[in-house]
Structure 1
Amino acid sequence: MMRWLPASLVMAMLLVSAMAAASETGADALIGKMVGAVDRLNYEGVFVFARDGHMETMHILHSRNEQGSRERLTALTGEPREVIKDDQSITCIRADGGSVCMEPRKTLLGMPGMSPLQDGTNGLRDNYRLGVGGSQRIAGLSCREVTILPRDALRYGHLLCIHEDSGMLLKAQLQGQEGVVLEQFMFTHIEFPETLDEERFEPAIQGEGFSVQRMEEARAEREFMEPDPHWHLRNLPEGFRVTKVRKRTMEANPHPVQHMLLSDGMATVSVFIAQAERPDDLLMGVTRSGALHAAARPVGDYQITVLGEVPAATVRLIAESVVHEESP
């Protein structure tokens, strides 16, 4: 015999459903506004980046005009180093004999977690739950919390705080299991000038004891060659798909390297395939640096390396999915 639910309970269930739908719609709008704002706006600020108990402070200068985007990122702590980027080139300035100039994910748009969201929320919902939280005050501005929580253990969660008026991202956390913060970025000061003088994008670090590395995008494009069509990814972790395949020469390897880029709508993972010089050069295993995991696996005389800000199990599964077949 069917029993009817109390009207008050039905109303409560409908209200919860409506609130959840409204929350996701609000998250879509905020994320969409943020993706455009980070590249469209002129801004200057200072932010801190924390990982594994280590904190760095960065100064960022970003401009957008008819010629495109320009950005200058300067380290205020640690070794003196600087990255200047426009639509045609990336220039890295660091102390002679110093470590890498800047982590790649900090050189474009200046903030962790931004590049994967270039398409807004497309592809996110199958793998993540979106929500809108309360307000915070960051760098003297009010911002709204947006949560992007994974539906399984194969990816990380994200907590963003977005300035509603401008759409600017003011704070971002990368979260592991049970909400453990793996990495965090937060502005301590930010301004939005109408214009920025051209000379402010000239190198601030100059003189003896510093080396300059410059890579031009046009030159890099010419170095690409036809990818080997026999490399495939079988049985990928659910939600991931290949978004780009390229092959090019690299200074660190005498053989061309094939690069496959994967995404689940939020996280991005790179797969590098390169022929080894000697059998002793082949590696196998998983390593970690902060939230970044790398998995290495040999396939014949080729080294497979998978790199991404995803859990260890994810890079391992992707590495195991790489096969070489004579026909698709």
Structure 2
Amino acid sequence: MRGSSFKTMIFKCFRPFALVLYACTAINYVAAQVPSISIPPVAAASVSDPRSLNDWLLRMHQASSQRSYVGTFVVSAGGNMSSAKIWHVCEGKQQVERVETLTGAQRSIFRHNNQVITFMPEHKVARSEKRESLGLFPEMFQSADSRIADFYQFRREGIERVAGVDADIITLMPRDSLRFGYRVWSERQNGLVVKLQTLDTDGKVIEQAAFSELQLDAPVSMNQLIQMMGKVEGYRLEKPVLVKTTASAEGWALRAPVAGFTAMNCYKRPASSAGEGPLQWIFSDGLASVSIFVEPFDRQRHVRESSLSLGATQTLTRQLDAYWITLVGEVPAATLQLFASGLERKK
């Protein structure tokens, strides 16, 4: 549940799309005092382009869910580099995607709407899971209630060519020290994200993800990808079960909210012969996310508390009474500490 290097790499391959998908969820403003950092004033979008931050995010989201393309995606973080080949096709509200890892362990990941199958050839295992879709037209963009702009300010940075296409550049800087900033390149004609940099609180690039080559509106066959997705002969098919729940129902709470971060989902795996199933509690501020994993403490497996940083991803582990807590997020380490210190057992 804490995630392997492969899972981390795959998530990062979708980082630009994760960025705009997280922005598809309504974020409630949490009034709280947080440490401030000194950020140079950011100019508003130019007079010739009056689009708001939400306008830009909606445009990127629609492009990611409506454009077909084939490309090679490269991620650089913490001195490591990973790459994957992506085939993406859309027909109406139907989306199908195929991802082939080009570095590290061989993996083939297929997604048809909210159904995902991961093929692991060296183990002859295929893992089938359902992952919730946030929809093509999130309600937050249809109202004035979006709070992302309360925590991020943005400016246009110009135009640059990436993977053979002209792209607009915008920078999103946090208004406090609890989150990272982003510099985003989106294809000018339709808004597909083609490059993303994550910036620390000093504005330094700590992670980059970009297409090295990209063919827009590629002639990808949806039926062919769906057929490939269904070829599980010779593989042991696993179907992990995630049960949707709430943290309060499982006896967990935060003593105080972390400014801007709202609880999005909570899942639990069913209990097994090994004991109680682990819990995952997910938070987001609209762009960044934090997951809290809770499982029974095991003295043999959970040796010592630790913290780890890999690019933008921070990990923190600690023991809390009879439980082992793992926090993972694309946020500064201090933000994870706030979540960790506020977590409490209610029953």
Q: TM-score range by the shorter chain?
A: 0.7 to 0.9
What does residue 181 of structure 1 align with? 205
d(CA) in 1 for partners of 2:270 and 2:49?
Answer: 46
Give CA-to-partner distance per residue, 1:226-255, whole Å, 9 cap, x none: 755331112233222222233333789631
Is the Cα contact below 8 Å between 1:27 and 1:132 reproduced in 2? no
Structure 1: state its 5+ residue gaps: 1-15, 110-116
Q: Which amino acid aligns with 1:288?
A: S
Distance 2:314 2:302 in 1: 20
2:192 to 161, 168, 178: 168
| 1:122 to partner: Cα distance | 2.7
Instruction: Measure how far apart 1:95 and its partner are.
Output: 4.1
State whether residues 30 and 164 of structure 1, in contact with CA within 8 Å, keep that contact through their aligned partners in structure 2: no
Counterpart code for 2:168: R
Residue 159 of structure 1: how far off its partner (Å): 0.4
Give the superposition deviation at 1:20. Answer: 6.9
Q: Aligned residue for 2:327?
A: 306
1:252–1:172: structure 2 CA closer, same or farther, 3 Å change rule?
farther
**2:100 is matched with which residue?**
74
Match of 2:71 among 42, 45, 53: 45
- Could you tell me which residue of structure 1 aligns to residue 294 of structure 2? 273
1:133 to 133, 139, 157: 157
Letter in 2 for 1:190: L
In the TM superposition, what whole-angstrom CA distance separates every residue of 1:108-133 from its partner, at most 9, and x where no partner exists? 99xxxxxxx99569321121112222
Comparing 83-92 with 187-196, greater Cα deviation is found at: 187-196
Structure-2 change in CA distance of 1:175 and 1:231 (3 Å): same
Q: TM-score, normalised by structure 2?
A: 0.72
1:238 pairs, out of 234, 253, 259, with 259
Shift of 1:201: 5.0
Larger RCO, structures 1/2 (Cα 8 Å, 6+ apart): 2
Q: Distance in 2 between matches of 1:252 and 1:63?
A: 41
Match of 2:337 among 310, 316, 327: 316
Q: 1:260 corresponds to which residue?
A: 281
Amino acid at match of 2:74: V
Residue 118 of structure 2: SS of its match in structure 1? strand
| Cα shift at 1:301 | 0.4
Q: Which residue of 2 aligns with 1:36?
A: 62
Aligned residue-pair number: 293
Q: Deviations over 1:164-196 (max 9, x none)?
A: 211111111111132221211111222233752
Partner of 1:294, secondary structure, is strand
Q: Secondary structure at the match of 1:254?
A: coil
- CA offset at residue 79 of structure 1? 3.5
TM-score, normalised via structure 1 length: 0.76
Aligned to 2:39: none
Equivalent residue in structure 1 for 2:179, among 121, 142, 155: 155
- 1 or 2, which has the higher strand percentage? 1
Q: 1:65 to 1:207 in 2, by over 3 A?
A: closer
- What SS does the corresponding residue of 2:326 show, helix, strand or coil? strand
Q: Report if aligned partners of 2:95, 2:113 keep a CA contact under 8 Å in 1.
A: yes
Among 68, 77, 80, the alignment partner of 1:54 is 80
| Pair 1:64–1:17, CA change in 2 (3 A) | closer
Distance 1:35 1:18, change over 3 A: closer
Using the TM superposition, name which of 38-47 and 248-257 deviates more: 248-257
- Partners of 1:180 and 1:273 lie apart in 2 by 32
Q: Deviations over 1:243-275 (max 9, x none)?
A: 223333378963122221111221110112222
> What SS class does the counterpart of residue 166 from structure 1 fall into?
coil
> Is the Cα–Cα contact under 8 Å of residues 93 and 213 in structure 1 kept in the other structure?
no
Structure 1 pair 233–211 and aligned structure 2 pair: CA distance change class (3 A): same
What is the aligned-residue identity percentage? Answer: 24
Greater shift, 303-312 or 21-30, is seen at 21-30
Q: Which amino acid aligns with 2:116?
A: I
1:1-25 deviation line (CA, Å, top 9, x unaligned)? xxxxxxxxxxxxxxx9776788773
| Secondary structure of the corresponding residue to residue 267 of structure 2 | strand
Q: Is the 8 A contact 1:35 1:118 kept in 2?
A: no
TM-aligned CA distance change 1:61 to 1:280, over 3 Å: closer
Aligned pair 1:86/2:107, yes or no?
A: no
Provide the secondary structure at the position in 2 that maps to 1:144. Answer: strand
Structure 1 residue 73 displacement after superposition = 0.6
- Equivalent position amino acid for 1:311 in 2: P
SS in 1 for 2:276: strand
Equivalent pair of 2:45/2:52 in contact (CA under 8 Å):
no
Separation in structure 1 between the aligned mates of residue 132 and residue 210 of structure 2, nearest angstrom: 16
Deviations 1:33-52 (A, max 9, x none): 10111012111112221112
Shift in alpha-carbon separation, 1:226–1:75, aligned structure 2, 3 A = closer
